């Protein structure tokens, strides 16, 4: 009976994992196609598409560069915006600090298409539509809710007596922030940075409305050529992105507290 | 000259009174224990002394100077926390040197001072360790060293032993007391453990519901409790209810003589207090003797505890374990005497 | 040990710091104003422009004109004729999103429950897997399902090669599938069908569903379940009487959050849904940046989508308040 139950559970978990992995595996295999069409199983397996994506075709090379640059820059901007917001929320927990947190979470909570359309209008008025700057700020605003959440979790996990201890040893509030609170919440800040990075990397809806034709990211490039169908070179992009996600989340899991970040046990002290 | 004095200090949380207006003196070089059950306001009081909590009213003086409005980081009273609050992102040396670092002391001097302190708490080899690698007792030593690094004028400890197991706790109590005496530093310890307070303190402040019940040396507190609460909170005791009649106390059919003669009027209800170790087992009847049946014998190792049923109600008496086994067994009838000078009389609680 | 009365919320300001100051330095004020404007102005612009007026070419001008909303609800030529084209698109947005989100939560729940009972190490590994899957761009997910469901490769080919198609034909099920639109005269087909659309959309949010259900399930104390077992409840009864009641509100909240998320999905719809059964999100793209180039009308459609989302999120918020009040 026990063995049967355990077997059923394992079977369920395994089939769920297979279902999640199936389209990803199919895409990875499709990257090996020799021809221009996406066939599964792949025909004339070759690694030439990898060369095209990373080296020879400037469209993809540039798009990848833009993706990486925008992802890092917007993650940095998002963390810089998120820190004061999360700090005020934790330190004062006042009406306005809660309002700030709510407003900064709005772009992420509401359908991104609406925010994207609005950002398109806003950058058009500012005459910045199509600039990389607009792309970075747009992604930072869209995703700032993530670092606000992770940093808030980090701040709440601090044992308050650490702060009291710093004060009794002569630390002012600013010194305590620098020497105790920032180092203790560093893993959470870094996690927030990388969450933002990965989501920016994969985002294309908002980018579609703010990018014009001056530049394009990998996902946007695929989105724009959607009507012509998918090609195996795009599948190489997919592999790159999956690898980046697994790497980043694997690192967060290794050096941070992933179950805690996902809210498993905030009640635990 | 007093170390710290509190004048009418009090603290309200909303409509709740954590500490009622209190006057207290903490003498220079003495170790004072703030003792009381959970929620009695002792932690709030020590936090107000540290500057971590703003008093709702009253003044705090340090060597006669008003420091009520000084924040914690100006007062810089070293404090040891219940959880020790050691910084997990710093090494042992960096933890001990933290107060020096943020006050601009150079690295070399800082490390030298940290080493001195680690020597003082008998952990000379542990400087390079991370906090996560230390045991509870080691963490406590580091916390003590860290609080002393800034050479504080007052040393505060908030339930410093509660994270340690029983055996280590007793050793650390003695060790901490010896260290404090060696340094001659004015020290305030918050505790809910009366044995801990008795072991370490020069003076004990017993608190209840935000108010000071009694201030005195451990001897005074133990032998002459000022109230029934103090009597019941400190150590074991027998409590017997009776009525005053012509200078003696009537309990059931018995008449008990007491040495203290507080001015109770005839007919008032009183509660008598007597320590178990002061009760005697006697051979012949006499003053304050009564018959009792042993219902339970408890072997505590160094002594035996006898639970008796007597004419005046249940009694507990203690006798040292001198032969290795109990001379009295369960079910035995014995004569027990409560010496008149061992009894204190309190007005009975309005039930 | 001190009384905790007077604490008003779960995130108390740290004690020991100076009492909170209302006064803000100039730099902080500027920061707040800038961030708040950047977050809110886009939404305000969409609202304002939805009342604008389209002029020649791709341009538009400020106005206060209800015609865009009129066109949305009853058509441009009303009252002469009445078209429900856009209402229909809103309906399809609802239809796909609600079925896909319910399907995702229903299948994610047992998975999340079993996962939350595993060791912390395997939980972490699962989370890495799920987070990688959930952050994967919609274009890549659709790419995978496109290969799996397209008629030249993928499942229809598998059906044909394994003889499943022939079996379906002889057993009579093929006619049923044809009636459901899941087969052409020769073989089964999944493009374009509602089935493929909903499966792909459900897949998109499935890992998200696990991640959202996970905290509520992980916080269920194991000893509580064991207590129920010692009182004689078999595992399914434990699930029904202890687990489900304690996560009822998080389950509803999760479904609604996924629903709002799926309202905006675009790529899955354009690739898998029949052109006559497409959603509001698609026509927003078409109006703002696509073929029709009518920004004010696109904005009006976006506002309808936004109001739908806000209403649903308000329900989530109220559920959250109730959950908090219950705890």
Q: What ranges do the domains of chain C cover?
A: 68-73+80-150+190-326
DSSP summary character for residue C241: I
Model confidence pLDDT, tens digit, residues B160-216: 998 888 888 888 999 999 999 999 999 999 999 999 999 999 999 999 999 999 999
Neighbours of B311 (CB within 10 A): 11
Chain A window 48-67: which residues touch C at a Cβ cutoff of 8 Å? none
CA distance to partner chain C, nearest, from residue A202 (Å): 5
Confidence of residue C235 (pLDDT cuts 50, 70, 90): confident
* Position C239 pLDDT exceeds 90: no
Question: Closest to A168 (Cβ–Cβ): which among B50, B87, B88?
Answer: B50
The two structure tokens encoding residue B149? 């690094």
* Position C43 pLDDT exceeds 70: yes
pLDDT for C18 equals: 46
pLDDT for A207 equals: 92
* Position C22 pLDDT exceeds 70: no
List the subunits that have 3+ CB pairs under 8 angstroms with B: A, C
CA distance to partner chain A, nearest, from residue C80 (Å): 31
Confidence of residue A258 (pLDDT cuts 50, 70, 90): confident
d(CA B150, CA B76): 8
Q: Where are the domains of chain B?
A: 2-232, 238-347
Q: Inspect the interface and report whether the beta carbons of C2 and B14 lie closer than 8 Å.
A: no
pLDDT for C327 equals: 57
Pairing of strands B57-62, B2-13: antiparallel
Residues of C with CB under 8 A from a CB of B: 1-3, 5-6, 15-16, 18-19
* Position C17 pLDDT exceeds 50: no
Question: Closest to A249 (Cβ–Cβ): which among C43, C132, C281?
Answer: C132
B2-232 and B238-347 agree in CATH topology: no
pLDDT for A2 equals: 67
d(CA B169, CA B191): 12
C-alpha angle with apex C234: C231 to C237, nearest 5 degrees? 95
With an 8 Å Cβ cutoff, is C244 touching chain A? no
Residue of B nearest to C17 (CA): B52
pLDDT for A167 equals: 93
Computed on alpha carbons and rounded to an integer, the radius of gyration of chain C in Å comes to: 25
Q: Inspect the interface and report whether the beta carbons of B98 and A183 lie closer than 8 Å.
A: no
pLDDT for C14 equals: 42
With respect to CATH, is domain C68-73+80-150+190-326 assigned 2.60.40.10? no
CATH tag, B238-347: 2.40.50.140
Confidence of residue C8 (pLDDT cuts 50, 70, 90): very low
pLDDT for B45 equals: 94
Q: Where are the domains of chain A?
A: 59-261
The two structure tokens encoding residue A265? 């046990």
Q: Inspect the interface and report whether the beta carbons of B47 and C18 lie closer than 8 Å.
A: no
Model confidence pLDDT, tens digit, residues C144-193: 888 888 877 777 777 777 777 778 778 877 777 777 777 777 777 777 88
pLDDT for C58 equals: 67
Mean pLDDT of the region C112-123: 86
d(CA A122, CA B342): 88
In terms of pLDDT, which residue wins out, A253 or B142?
A: B142
* Position C23 pLDDT exceeds 70: no
CA distance to partner chain B, nearest, from residue A183 (Å): 7
Is the CB of residue A211 less than 8 Å from the CB of residue A116?
Answer: no
| B249-269 residues labelled b (16+ CB within 10 A) or e (exposed) | bbbeebebebeeeeebeeeee
pLDDT for C314 equals: 87
Question: Closest to B43 (Cβ–Cβ): which among C2, C18, C19?
Answer: C2
In terms of pLDDT, which residue wins out, B125 or C229?
A: B125
d(CA C76, CA C300): 13
pLDDT for C16 equals: 42
Contacts of A30 in chain C (CB under 8 A): 143, 147
Lowest mean pLDDT among A128-142, A176-190, C246-260: C246-260
Question: Closest to C2 (Cβ–Cβ): which among B14, B39, B71?
Answer: B39
Q: Inspect the interface and report whether the beta carbons of C260 and A20 lie closer than 8 Å.
A: no
Lowest mean pLDDT among A71-85, B140-154, C67-81, C211-225: C67-81
Confidence of residue A82 (pLDDT cuts 50, 70, 90): very high
Model confidence pLDDT, tens digit, residues A113-143: 899 999 999 998 899 988 999 999 999 999 9
pLDDT for A196 equals: 92
d(CA B41, CA B48): 11
pLDDT for C12 equals: 39
Superfamily per CATH, domain B2-232: P-loop containing nucleotide triphosphate hydrolases (3.40.50.300)
Contacts of A264 in chain C (CB under 8 A): 116, 123, 214-215, 218-219
Confidence of residue C217 (pLDDT cuts 50, 70, 90): confident
CA distance to partner chain C, nearest, from residue B300 (Å): 30
Confidence of residue C1 (pLDDT cuts 50, 70, 90): very low
Contacts of A120 in chain C (CB under 8 A): 288-289
Mean pLDDT of the region C253-279: 88
pLDDT for B93 equals: 94
Q: Inspect the interface and report whether the beta carbons of B52 and C16 lie closer than 8 Å.
A: yes
DSSP summary character for residue A179: I
With respect to CATH, is domain A59-261 assigned 2.30.30.30? no
d(CA C327, CA C325): 6
Q: Inspect the interface and report whether the beta carbons of C2 and B72 lie closer than 8 Å.
A: no
Contacts of C306 in chain A (CB under 8 A): 110-111, 114
Q: Inspect the interface and report whether the beta carbons of C16 and B72 lie closer than 8 Å.
A: yes
What is the three-class DSSP state of C136? coil
Q: How far is CA C265 from CA A111, A238, B339, C147, C274, in A?
A: 9, 19, 89, 19, 15
What is the three-class DSSP state of B189? strand
What's the complex ipTM? 0.86
Question: Closest to A173 (Cβ–Cβ): which among C18, C41, C111?
Answer: C18
* Position C20 pLDDT exceeds 80: no
Contacts of B162 in chain C (CB under 8 A): none
The rounded mean pLDDT for chain C is: 81
Q: Which residues of chain B have pLDDT under 70?
A: 1-2, 261-262, 350-351
CA distance to partner chain A, nearest, from residue C61 (Å): 13
Q: Inspect the interface and report whether the beta carbons of B13 and C3 lie closer than 8 Å.
A: yes
């Amino acid at each position: 009976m026990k063995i049967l139950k355990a077997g059923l559970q394992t079977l369920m978990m395994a089939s769920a994992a297979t279902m999640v992995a199936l389209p990803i595996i199919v895409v990875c295999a499709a990257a090996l196609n020799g021809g221009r069409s996406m066939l599964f199983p792949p025909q004339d397996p070759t690694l030439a598409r990898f060369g095209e994506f990373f080296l020879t075709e400037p469209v993809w090379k540039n798009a990848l560069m833009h993706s990486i640059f925008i992802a890092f820059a917007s993650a940095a901007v998002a963390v810089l915006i998120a820190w004061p917001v999360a700090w005020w929320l934790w330190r004062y927990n006042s009406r306005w600090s809660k309002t700030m947190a709510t407003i900064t979470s709005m772009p992420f909570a509401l359908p991104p298409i609406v925010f994207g359309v609005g950002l398109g209008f806003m950058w058009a008025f500012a005459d910045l539509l199509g600039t990389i700057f607009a792309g970075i700020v747009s992604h930072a605003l869209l995703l700032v809710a993530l670092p606000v959440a992770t940093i808030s979790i980090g701040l709440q996990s601090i044992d308050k007596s650490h702060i009291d201890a710093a004060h009794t040893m002569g630390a002012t509030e600013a010194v305590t922030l620098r020497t105790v609170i920032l180092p203790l919440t560093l893993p959470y800040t870094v996690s927030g940075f990388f969450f933002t990075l990965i989501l920016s990397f994969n985002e294309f809806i908002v980018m579609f409305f703010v990018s014009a034709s001056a530049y394009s990211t990998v996902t946007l490039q695929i989105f724009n050529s959607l009507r012509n169908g998918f090609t195996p070179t795009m599948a190489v992009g997919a592999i790159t992105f999956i690898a980046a996600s697994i790497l980043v989340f694997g690192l967060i899991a290794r050096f941070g507290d992933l179950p805690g970040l996902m809210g498993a046990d905030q009640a635990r002290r | 000259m007093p170390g710290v004095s509190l004048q009418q200090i009090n603290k309200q949380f909303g409509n709740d009174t954590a500490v009622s207006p209190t006057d207290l003196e903490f003498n220079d070089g003495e170790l004072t224990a703030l003792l009381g059950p959970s929620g009695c306001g002792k932690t709030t009081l020590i936090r107000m002394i540290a500057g971590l909590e703003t008093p709702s009213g009253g003044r705090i003086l340090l060597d006669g100077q008003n420091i009520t409005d000084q924040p914690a980081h100006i007062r810089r009273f070293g404090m040891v926390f219940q959880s020790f609050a050691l910084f997990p992102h710093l090494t042992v040396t960096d933890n001990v040197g933290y107060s020096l670092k943020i006050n601009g002391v150079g690295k070399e001097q800082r490390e030298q001072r940290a080493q001195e302190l680690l020597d003082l708490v008998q952990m000379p080899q542990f400087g390079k360790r991370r906090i996560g690698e230390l045991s509870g007792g080691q963490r406590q030593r580091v916390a003590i060293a860290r609080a002393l690094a800034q050479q504080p004028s007052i040393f505060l400890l908030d339930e410093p032993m509660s994270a340690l197991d029983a055996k280590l706790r007793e050793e650390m109590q003695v060790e901490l007391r010896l260290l404090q005496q060696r340094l001659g530093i004015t020290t305030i310890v918050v505790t809910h453990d009366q044995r801990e307070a008795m072991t370490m303190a020069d003076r004990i402040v017993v608190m209840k519901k935000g108010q000071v019940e009694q201030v005195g040396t451990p001897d005074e507190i133990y032998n002459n409790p000022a109230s029934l609460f103090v009597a019941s909170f400190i150590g074991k005791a027998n409590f017997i209810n009776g009525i005053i009649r012509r200078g003696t106390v009537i309990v059931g059919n018995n008449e008990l003589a007491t040495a203290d003669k507080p001015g109770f009027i005839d007919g008032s209800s009183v509660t008598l207090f007597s320590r178990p170790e002061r009760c005697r087992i006697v051979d012949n009847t006499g003053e304050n003797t009564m018959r009792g049946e042993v219902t339970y014998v408890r072997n505590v190792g160094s002594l035996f505890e006898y639970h008796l049923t007597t004419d005046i109600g249940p009694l507990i008496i203690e006798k040292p374990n001198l032969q290795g086994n109990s001379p009295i067994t369960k079910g035995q009838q014995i004569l027990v005497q409560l010496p008149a000078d061992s009894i204190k009389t309190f007005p009975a609680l309005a039930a | 040990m001190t009384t905790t009365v007077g604490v008003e919320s779960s995130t108390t300001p740290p004690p020991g710091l100076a009492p909170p100051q209302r006064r803000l330095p100039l730099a902080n004020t500027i920061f707040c104003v800038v961030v708040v404007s950047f977050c809110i102005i886009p939404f305000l612009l969409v609202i304002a422009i939805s009342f604008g007026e389209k002029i020649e070419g791709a341009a538009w001008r400020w106005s206060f004109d209800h015609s865009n909303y009129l066109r949305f609800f009853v058509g441009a030529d009303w009252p002469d004729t009445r078209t429900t084209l856009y209402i229909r698109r809103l309906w399809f947005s609802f239809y796909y999103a609600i079925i896909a989100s319910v399907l995702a939560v229903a299948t994610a729940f047992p998975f999340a429950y079993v996962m939350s009972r595993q060791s912390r190490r395997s939980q972490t590994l699962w989370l890495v897997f799920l987070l990688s899957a959930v952050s994967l761009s919609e274009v890549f997910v659709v790419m995978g399902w496109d290969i799996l469901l397209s008629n030249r490769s993928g499942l229809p080919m598998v059906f044909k090669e394994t003889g499943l198609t022939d079996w379906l034909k002889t057993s009579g099920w093929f006619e049923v599938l044809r009636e459901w639109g899941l087969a052409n005269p020769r073989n089964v087909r999944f493009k374009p069908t509602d089935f493929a659309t909903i499966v792909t959309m459900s897949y998109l949010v499935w890992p998200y569903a696990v991640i959202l259900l996970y905290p509520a399930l992980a916080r269920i104390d194991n000893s509580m379940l064991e207590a129920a077992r010692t009182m004689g409840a078999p595992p399914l009864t434990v699930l029904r009487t202890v687990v489900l009641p304690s996560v009822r509100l998080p389950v509803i909240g999760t479904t609604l959050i996924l629903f709002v998320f799926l309202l905006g999905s675009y790529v899955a719809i354009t690739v898998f849904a029949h052109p006559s059964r497409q959603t509001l999100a698609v026509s927003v793209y078409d109006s703002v940046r696509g073929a029709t180039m009518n920004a004010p009308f696109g904005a009006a459609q976006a506002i309808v989508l936004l109001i739908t989302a806000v209403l649903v999120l308000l329900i989530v918020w109220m559920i959250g308040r109730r959950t908090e009040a219950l705890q």
